[in-house]
Chains A and B, each alone.
Chain A
Amino acid sequence: MSEAAETEKPKKKGKWTRRAFIGAGVLAGGALVVGVAVRPGNPTDEMKKRLAKGEGEELINAWVKIAADNKVTAIVPHVEMGQGSQSTLAQMLADEMDADWEKVEMLESPATARYASGAIGREFLAPTLEVPKILEPTVEGSFLKIADMMDLQITGGSFSIRGTGQRDMRTAGAAARQMLIAAAAEEWGVPAEEITTARSMLSHKASGKSATYGEFAAAAAAQSLPVRPKRKAVGEFKLMGKPMPRKDIPSKVDGTAIFGIDAKVEGMKYAAVKAPPVVGSTVEKIDANAAKTMPGVLQILNMGDFVAVIADGYWQAQQALGKVQATYSKSEGQSLDQDAIFKRYSDALDEAGSDGGDTEISEGDAVEAFAGAAKKVTAEYKVPFLAHATMEPMNCTVSVKDGKCEVWIGTQAPLRIRRAVAESLGLGEDDVTLNNAFLGGGFGRRSEVDHAIMAARLAKAAGYPVKLIWSREEDTAQDFYRPSSTSRFEAGLDEKGRVVSWNNIHTHLFDPQEAPTVPYYAIPNQLVRKVDVPMHLRFGPWRSVDHSQQAWFIESFVDEVAEAAGKDPLVLRRELLEGSPRHLAVLNKAAKMAGWGSEMPGGHGRGIALVPSFGSIVAEVAEVDMTGEKPKVSKVFCCADVGFAMNPDAVKAQMESAIVYGMTAALYGEITIKDGAVQQSNFHDYQMLRMNEMPEVEVALINGDAERLGGAGEPGLPPVAPAVTNAIFAATGKRVRELPLSKMNWA
């Protein structure tokens, strides 16, 4: 970093101020590098220790490198777990700098604090800005410790494009372009304003001069840094808003894409593990006599909290592990069964009554309005625990040697992994090098660090590199689950069928809470409460976090309220969204796509749901066919407003994906507990939606606000379950108040 200039005047926001800087420098070989840096304006000592270890700005992100051969490399601080975020981030940067897309490459930034995600960091420094709560745990009830969140290089919260892309990649691209122009203007002796750029070329029409970016890369680095690089207006976009093919896809069709599980490390051996079935138990003793004689076995270890076999090959390790007899300590959770868990919920809700529990939202007087209502509606809903079931089971490869450690993994949170591994080995963070690969699905599961710590401890104990791979059974039984929940509602209607009160209480097991526990709907008296129910299981963020439960509760109950009011579910939603034009536009578009209101054959039905989440608004209409043995979802129409779809095809793909993920949960998803342990083990008893059950899906996008982007990875999920169950009601008159649908008898 040669020097730095301010791009923005520091703004005072809350206790923190923020400053963003553009930095530039020249690398060996004459490559220009440009980045956006953030310096905490007023850090506490602790903050500084974490975020700014050296002098000056450290949180550098969103680099671009322009090499002498005219190749442009976008260095992105987010991982690739399927959304194509890396590709879209490069697209945003390339557009701002008028780079030749064919010559743009991507590189995932290394896991060091230098590349911590500045956009996220900035949100910490400017907490009044909107940020997904998953990335911003609150001091009260923070499940993800705030210290964890200091490791800011995280991919999650549907945040990459709207945060890093919008604020940093575009700024870096615009700055690079401006510096290249300035360098050319100087060399050619022409005014900068007369120089045009396109496809990584600089041109001056009057003099006929032209040159590649690469030719001016070194000279550009010597230019003074732009104070406020001019970013493009929507009308000037060339790549942004276009369905550009993702750059990661070719490697995913020929077997060359490298995932965490594909790490190749000299001398590595394979580990299979089994943790006690009941979380909180420990391994008391093991009988390894049978396992010891199995082929390929190198070591058998009781690690206290799990059993491991290390062998020459993974299959050998698995086979031998199956022969190890382990006894586990008794623990608190072991007497718990699924029915007892739901009993705990209902007891806690009973105790809270109509106005107890922790108040989350209180407007007007919902209790009084309900008492005086002309018509009353009540309902209780239940959803189960869910596992993530990423296609690639948890795995991690670690080498520990001479006080240094190297980690190979596919993770959503590289810096968190690095710190967790360092702490578990008693090393400094700088002694741990992390190599991140593609993620075979993340969905929140790969923001956890448990498997990496296990691998590190095994590698240390073994004395040689170890590749730990969880079996599918272990992956299913040792997840950080989406919490199960029970939610109760009371709503009151006046004589004219208007909703005058809304009172909800739901059980709560996991922070951060992400869902806006209501009101995108305009209801005068609202009371929303939660009640904590302690549990021995481990919970974590699961695609769309608590929207996955709350949206089903809320959108199911809105439908029941509409029924009680004698109104069409679409009509009631329109009434309640009168003051929200973007929401209304999305709702109406989805309804229009589906031909809402048109006749359907007997046993068929249509349901609608609208959910705003992660800064985006999505409405979905599902069509179901209830004439067979079990519900068949035949069509899903989806309309999404993500602000501005930077890569519309990638956004559509996210909606298609989230619909399947949400439908899988609605139809089949259920983790149950018996004697404290998870009963499911593999895809035969934790079922996935398959191609033969895939509905036709149609997605439409609305660009409602190009300045405030929303997320794409998660918002398509919450509406699908309620759209399906509301459709089932339309088809059968039968309300679904418990998921999954496979539990119900449809005969």
Chain B
Amino acid sequence: MSITMTVNGKQAEVDVDPATPILWVVREQLEMSGTKFGCGIAQCGACTVHLDGKPVRSCSTPVSEADGKAVTTIEGLAGEDGTLSKLQQAWISEQVPQCGYCQSGQLMSAAALLKRNPNPSDEQINAAMAGNVCRCGMYGRIKKAIKVAAGMETSSNEEAAA
């Protein structure tokens, strides 16, 4: 079956079993490997992408759901000219990633959070991010980076310079 969707602003048409999770269509048919497979049951968040702006677990969302909709993956988080988003910049300034495998999903969940709530409280950050597991345990840095990106806290770089 043919599915048509907009992926990171570009039209994409794929001919796959409509039950195939978006994750595998993005990784295998569209050959974008930034979105990761972690658990296959929506428990870890490594596969998080945006579907019409809402965060979904792409490992458990069939591609039929994306028909006629807009999918945004980590590859589409930066600006069209390649300028990193504020979140990505904060991820670098706070030196968030370790192994980095979960970070695409963390960033996509965080981006969706800030879009609907530009000034989230700690509880709101926890609630939005609790679905994303980081086995390297960088939760403290992720939270800090979200606040830096939201302009709620200054980056560690500036703190060091001050």
- Which residues of A does B touch, CB under 8 Å? 81-84, 243, 245-246, 248-259, 261-262, 264, 270, 295-296, 313-316, 318, 389-393, 438-443, 469, 471-472, 649-650, 653, 656-661, 664, 682-684, 688-692, 694, 696-697
Q: Which residues of A contact B138 (CB under 8 A)?
A: 653, 656-657, 660
**Supplied contacts A660-B136, A690-B139, 17 more A-B pairs, CB within 8 Å:** A82-B136, A252-B97, A253-B91, A255-B32, A255-B74, A256-B34, A314-B28, A390-B135, A392-B38, A441-B136, A653-B138, A659-B137, A661-B135, A684-B43, A691-B129, A691-B143, A697-B140
- Establish whether residues A653 and B43, one from each chain, have CB atoms under 8 Å apart when the complex forms: no
- What is the CB-to-nearest-CB distance from B62 to chain A, in angstroms, rounded to a whole number? 10
B42-100 at interface with A (beta carbon < 8 Å): 43-44, 46, 73-75, 77-78, 84, 88, 91-92, 95-100
B residues less than 8 Å from A661 (CB atoms): 135-137
| Residue-wise interface mask of B (120-162) relative to A, using a CB-CB cutoff of 8 A (1 in contact, 0 not) | 0000011101111111111111110000000000000000100
**Complex CA–CA separation, A694 to B130 (angstroms):** 10
Taking a contact as CB atoms closer than 8 A, the residue among B41, B96, B100, B129 that contacts A440 in the complex is: B100
**Among A255, A295, A441, A688, which residue has the most Cβ atoms of chain B within 10 A?**
A255
Contact between chains at B92 and A82 (CB < 8 Å): no
Q: Per a CB cutoff under 8 Å, which of B33, B40, B75, B132 touches A262? A: B33
Bound CA–CA A246/B78 (angstroms): 20
A–B pairs, 30, beta carbons within 8 Å: A82-B97, A82-B98, A82-B136, A249-B92, A249-B100, A254-B88, A255-B33, A255-B74, A258-B33, A259-B33, A261-B33, A296-B17, A313-B16, A314-B37, A316-B20, A389-B135, A391-B36, A438-B100, A441-B99, A469-B37, A472-B38, A657-B136, A658-B137, A660-B139, A661-B135, A661-B137, A683-B39, A690-B129, A691-B130, A691-B142
Residues on the A chain within 8 Å of B126, using CB: 691-692
Complex Cα–Cα for A694 and B21 (A): 31
CA distance A392 to B39 in the complex (A): 9
Q: Is the CB of A682 within 8 A of B43?
A: yes
Chain B residues with CB under 8 Å of A249's CB are: 91-92, 95-97, 100
B135 touches A688 (CB 8 A): yes
The answer on a CB contact under 8 Å between A253 and B92 is yes
- Smallest beta-carbon distance B156→chain A, Å: 8
**CB neighbours of B16 from chain A (8 A):** 313
State whether A438 and B99 are in contact (beta carbons under 8 Å apart), knowing that A253-B84, A253-B88 are contacts in the complex. yes
Task: Report if A683-B133 is in contact (Cβ < 8 Å); known contacts: A248-B100, A653-B95.
Answer: yes
**A254 close to B75 (CB less than 8 A):** yes
- Most chain A CB within a 10 A radius of its CB, from B28, B141, B143: B28
Q: Given known contacts A248-B100, A393-B38, A440-B99, is B137 in contact with A689 (CB within 8 Å)?
A: yes
CB-based nearest A residue for B133: A688
Contact A694 B20 (CB under 8 A): no
Complex CA gap A256/B133 in Å reads: 20
* Bound form: Cα–Cα A253–B40 in Å: 22
A422 to B129, CA, bound (A): 43
Known A656-B141, A683-B39: A254·B77 in contact at CB below 8 Å:
yes
Chain B contacts for A471, CB-based, 8 A: 40
Q: How far is the CA of A590 from the CA of B104 in the complex (A)?
A: 34
Q: How far is the CA of A439 from the CA of B36 in the complex (A)?
A: 13
Give B137's nearest chain A residue, CB to CB: A660
Q: Which residues of A contact B160 (CB under 8 A)?
A: 243
A255-B74, A313-B24, A682-B41 known; A391 vs B140 contact (CB < 8 Å): no
Looking across the interface, which residue of chain B has its beta carbon closest to that of A259?
A: B101
Q: B17 to A295, Cβ gap below 8 A? A: yes
State the CA gap A609–B31 with chains docked (Å).
48
Question: A697 to B74, alpha carbons, bound, how many Å?
Answer: 29
Check A254–B74 contact: CB distance below 8 A. Answer: yes
B154 to chain A, nearest CB (A): 16
Pick the contact of B100 from A257, A270, A472, A649 — CB < 8 Å? A257
List of B residues within 8 angstroms of A246 by Cβ: 95
- Cβ B20 vs Cβ A313 within 8 A: yes
Most chain A CB inside 10 Å of its own CB: which residue of B35, B39, B96, B125: B39
| B130 contact from A258, A262, A389, A692, Cβ within 8 A | A692
Residue among A254, A438, A650 with most chain B CB within 10 A: A254
Q: Are the C-beta atoms of B99 and A439 separated by less than 8 Å?
A: yes
Contact of B37 among A393, A438, A656 (CB under 8 A): A393
B131 contacts which chain A residues (CB < 8 A)? 690
The minimal Cβ–Cβ distance linking B15 to chain A, given in whole angstroms, is 12
A81 and B139 within 8 A (CB): no
Residues of B within 8 A of A653 (CB): 95, 98, 138, 141
A84 to B24, CA, bound (A): 29
Q: Which residues of B contact A691 (CB under 8 A)?
A: 125-126, 129-130, 132, 139, 142-143
A264 touches B41 (CB 8 A): no
Q: How far is the CA of A288 from the CA of B110 in the complex (A)?
A: 43
Report the nearest A residue to B143, measured CB to CB. A691
If A249-B92, A692-B130, A694-B139 touch, whether A684 touches B99 (CB-CB below 8 Å) is: no
Alpha-carbon separation in the docked complex, A260 to B127 (Å): 31
CB–CB A314/B41 < 8 A: no
Residues of B within 8 Å of A316, CB to CB, are: 17, 20
CB pair A314 B24 closer than 8 Å: yes
- Give the complex CA separation of A85 and B132 in angstroms: 25
Most chain A CB within a 10 A radius of its CB, from B38, B129, B135, B138: B135
CB distance from A93 to the nearest CB of B (A): 20
**Chain A residues positioned under 8 Å from B91 (CB to CB):** 249, 252-253
